[in-house]
Structure 1
Amino acid sequence: NFPLLSDYKRDVVNAYGVALPNFAGMEGYTASERAVFVIDKEGVIRFKWVGENPGKEPDYDEVQRQVEQLK
C-alpha cells in the first residue's frame, strides 16, 4: 500500500513542474504530465520519471526497484 495524492487545484503539478496547460486544446484546463515521483520519509525526491507524452508509461520494474531501495 502507498498513499496517492488528489491535486484538484493543481498546486502539486505546478510545484513539481509537470503541469500541462491548455490540455488537449482546452483553454484554461491544466492536466498533469504522466509522472512518477518516489519520495522518502524525509520528503526528498529519490526518483523522478516524466513521460515524453501522455501515452508513454514508466518502467514499472524500475519504479519498484526505486521503492525497494527506500526500505
Structure 2
Amino acid sequence: MPELRIECRYCDNPMSPRNCDGDLVCSNCGAEWAAAKCVIEVSDLQLERERREQEEYDQWIMAQDDYWE
C-alpha cells in the first residue's frame, strides 16, 4: 500500500517545518511552508528500497563502531 508524505517541493526535505519569527518555513531551505509543502505518494517499491538502504547503512555504522573498539 503506497504511503503519503509531506515534503518541501523545492528541496525534497521530508522533515517538519520550523518556526521562524512566527512563520513556518522549510527546515532545510527556508522556503515559506504554505507555498512549499506538497504531498507525494511513495510506492511500495520505493519504500522497500529505502528500507534496504537503511539496513545497509545500519550495518555499515555497526562495522565502523567495531573498527574503533
Q: Which category of TM-score, normalised to the shorter sequence, fits these structures?
A: 0.3 to 0.5
- TM-score, normalised to structure 2, is 0.33
Q: Compare the two structures and name the one with the higher strand fraction.
A: 2
- TM-score, normalised to structure 1, is 0.33
